Structure 1
């Protein structure tokens, strides 16, 4: 129900979308952190300076950076989480810090110019070293590995397009392309280890255990005394408070806040309905592959993006114990929109591709044929896909004091950390978006929301 003296952000309860109970369990959640069901105080605080909605990568990173800010007072930040801490997409992803150097970048160059497109690529690249530095400074045990990522194309037509794209990007004098090693032709299979590879490219990237990484940041934020975590406490509505600031409703009561950070990604439109077309929840699938005791397989050192003969894309990271985390297969379930598009049910797998990764390593990689590798666990997660493939960052248009980090398109690992640092600075200091060093093309604006509202259903998602 709207506040008697203010404006309501959220839609009616009948359209409110919250994370479902009984979600599939990811490999990363095999051992839950001590803070999984943590409540810093038994009762919900009645007020705070900053309220953060969501405890995943985005919400936790903002909380951590606010805790580091000298302008943040003790007990001034509250983080609300609908389920367990880091139980959403962050705790279900592939652990892949892989910058995009030539996927969406040509599209951004066409839309916004070479300078802006190149700047976005550099922004993603900066995350690899930034997270490496953060992990070292905080001594975080999260299996961070600085490595190379290998992109492979097994379909000849796709390989030729990849070669042309590489040559185009190389011709634009973008310095970061010097890090890319591209191989086309018969040698690609030997270089990559992927049987049918017709082309491959490698460049610097990172891998980690995402749940351990985020929970370590969250524990440090709470230990600062500035951050109060409240799990199993979904935000169900936001109202403007007649006295200034906002009132946020939850099943456990309401809390007043001077500023709000919307970091619930796929669920952000529940409280910000103007984003219902701009950020759409989409399900994905991920698996953990193990090799039986007594069997062996080649140890992979690189992370991978593999596009098979049918142009089905899979992303993969090797684990230090020899296991593999691999997901993707969107091309398989793409035609079945009801199974994944605008769908927030992560309690069930995507039926069309739930068996896709059975035998994946054997049919894809050299030397794995007799490994008897098998899927030990499969799970799904709900991601926020944006209409134009860029995240929405900054102050919500027309709603001063409310900020958003959402719409990461299943590609949040090399995007969120620096975005969260920038948003935290905006929240703590009152600086404008343009003053905190974030790429201008990702700023959330009225124009971007209008394009999503007026454009074709799904935008880049369904293009």
Structure 2
């Protein structure tokens, strides 16, 4: 069970406030609002996307992707590289629609972490069995290699600052550390080859260079970091250059409705209507707006991030480490840029009503004062004031929020959408006919779930169109859309303090 869902049954939070959160979870999240907080990642717009789209929308497209983050970029790349989707060259094959600036949603507001610490292996093994747990963890771990490889292939390694680091997951509190060691032991026993680089340190064995002397213990392992906006816009820019007649990206184009009629979809936007064979929803926290049946199954959670100047005694570790700070209640996450900035986020439980006030919130135009206070002072405390030193001037370079898409069972939703979720009736389901799809709800871990989920979704689409595609035996079945999951993985509409498993909360 994620920390977010756990708060719904936390008796320390008044029931009326938890009920208000559930009401928001089941409400229409709408389209992203124009007003936003200013993300540090977006301060240097890509030259290809500095001006609002002014070209007329095409009347038709083979595939319309709604959302221009890492998921949409991955899907577009996989589809375009197939080059076999559409025999009609008179209109673009793939069109991405974005309500605001390109990559200005969750991807352009996250922590820049490519991190899977395998902390949930034991939980997955207990619930789904050892084989399924290995498959889920392997899928997540594969993102580090895959994303760094794509960055290198496209010449984005330097510009996107894509790099492999060692994560340091620090635990504060005896019980917290004891549980972490037990989970690590399960992981190393169940996946000895994959866990070879994982190391545990505790007490005096924690290397001094970590500057984590206040931690009870530290788990270290392989991870990555990058500038998410520069990575995604770099991928999209390359696709636009390589497929000028087959690919378009339309920003500031909000989708207001989707209809199905006469074997095609009509996608209504604030700039006109586009007809398409396939529609792919990559809107994460906002997916319930156009897919009403996903409300309560996928819901927004507002998170908060900051860019900070490090203390004058803290050594540059951008090429060496990234961090997770695990407390008795909640956690924070941190990467450091080669230029020195500390990209620090978290503090969920420090928000109003222990975080419940951020659950179901679909806007990123406001910030929590309580989280601001926490993030502004936590780093010097965690690393120790002697190791941190002083900061000249204002240490906070930027503070912003973003909307994450969470799911009731803790897994992304990837696959073809049935009419029971879209509330749109299809007249037939023949091979080669279009469909509506979803790839969303990465539960705050998009950097180790979204790229390959997008690749899998695009492969499913190609196979539906009758094209041979990559074998998908590597893709975890827990992420697939099916009727059993639709019936099971939904949050209640009324608060209950009875303990339940996380898939049925």
TM-score (norm 1): 0.90
* Stretch moving more, 183-192 or 255-264: 183-192
Whole-angstrom distance in 2 between the partners of 1:326 and 1:271 = 32
**What are the Cα deviations for residues 311-346 of structure 1, in whole angstroms up to 9, with x where unaligned?**
331111111011110101112127355631110110
Q: For 2:110, which of 71, 93, 108 is the aligned residue?
A: 93
Distance 1:189 1:276, change over 3 A: farther
The answer as to whether partners of 2:346 and 2:375 remain within 8 angstroms in 1 is no
Q: What do you get for the CA RMSD once the two structures are aligned? A: 2.5
**What are the Cα deviations for residues 79-109 of structure 1, in whole angstroms up to 9, with x where unaligned?**
110011001000000000001412x322221
The answer as to whether partners of 1:22 and 1:347 remain within 8 angstroms in 2 is yes
* Stretch moving more, 404-413 or 192-201: 192-201
Partner of 2:401: 380
The answer as to whether partners of 1:357 and 1:375 remain within 8 angstroms in 2 is no
The answer as to whether partners of 1:127 and 1:415 remain within 8 angstroms in 2 is yes
Equivalent positions of 1:43-62 (< 5 A) are 43-62=56-75
Q: For 1:22, which of 35, 42, 47 is the aligned residue?
A: 35
Q: For 2:164, which of 139, 146, 149 is the aligned residue?
A: 146
Distance 1:227 1:388, change over 3 A: same
Whole-angstrom distance in 1 between the partners of 2:66 and 2:489 = 23
Partner of 2:8: none
Whole-angstrom distance in 2 between the partners of 1:94 and 1:232 = 24
Distance 1:144 1:245, change over 3 A: same
Partner of 2:268: 249
Whole-angstrom distance in 1 between the partners of 2:491 and 2:215 = 41
Measured after TM superposition, the shift of residue 137 of structure 1 is 0.9
Measured after TM superposition, the shift of residue 263 of structure 1 is 0.4
Whole-angstrom distance in 2 between the partners of 1:41 and 1:66 = 25
2:472 aligned with 1:436: yes
Partner of 1:36: 49
Distance 1:371 1:337, change over 3 A: closer
Measured after TM superposition, the shift of residue 69 of structure 1 is 1.4
* Stretch moving more, 88-97 or 355-364: 355-364
Measured after TM superposition, the shift of residue 175 of structure 1 is 2.6
Measured after TM superposition, the shift of residue 455 of structure 1 is 5.0
Whole-angstrom distance in 2 between the partners of 1:457 and 1:106 = 30
Distance 1:460 1:195, change over 3 A: farther
2:174 aligned with 1:156: yes
Distance 1:307 1:454, change over 3 A: closer
Partner of 2:14: none
Q: For 2:487, which of 447, 450, 454 is the aligned residue?
A: 450
Partner of 1:239: 259
Partner of 2:95: 78
Partner of 2:279: 260
Distance 1:171 1:336, change over 3 A: closer
The answer as to whether partners of 1:285 and 1:328 remain within 8 angstroms in 2 is yes
Q: Which runs of 4+ in 1 moved over 6 A?
A: 431-434, 456-459
TM-score (norm 2): 0.83
Partner of 1:299: 316
- For these two proteins, the number of residue pairs brought into alignment is 445
Partner of 1:393: 414
Q: For 1:184, which of 195, 199, 202 is the aligned residue?
A: 202
The answer as to whether partners of 1:39 and 1:228 remain within 8 angstroms in 2 is no
Whole-angstrom distance in 1 between the partners of 2:480 and 2:247 = 26
* Stretch moving more, 164-173 or 298-307: 164-173
Whole-angstrom distance in 2 between the partners of 1:61 and 1:244 = 26
**What are the Cα deviations for residues 228-280 of structure 1, in whole angstroms up to 9, with x where unaligned?**
11111111111111x21211111222111000111001111111111101111
Give SS of 1:175's match: coil
Partner of 1:7: none
Whole-angstrom distance in 1 between the partners of 2:493 and 2:126 = 19
Partner of 1:137: 153
Whole-angstrom distance in 2 between the partners of 1:41 and 1:174 = 54
The answer as to whether partners of 1:361 and 1:368 remain within 8 angstroms in 2 is no
Structure 2 unaligned blocks of 5 or more: 1-26, 420-425, 430-434, 496-500
Distance 1:234 1:436, change over 3 A: same
Whole-angstrom distance in 1 between the partners of 2:76 and 2:482 = 24
Whole-angstrom distance in 2 between the partners of 1:319 and 1:460 = 36
Give SS of 1:419's match: helix
Partner of 1:5: none
Give SS of 2:288's match: helix
Whole-angstrom distance in 2 between the partners of 1:338 and 1:318 = 29
Give SS of 2:490's match: helix
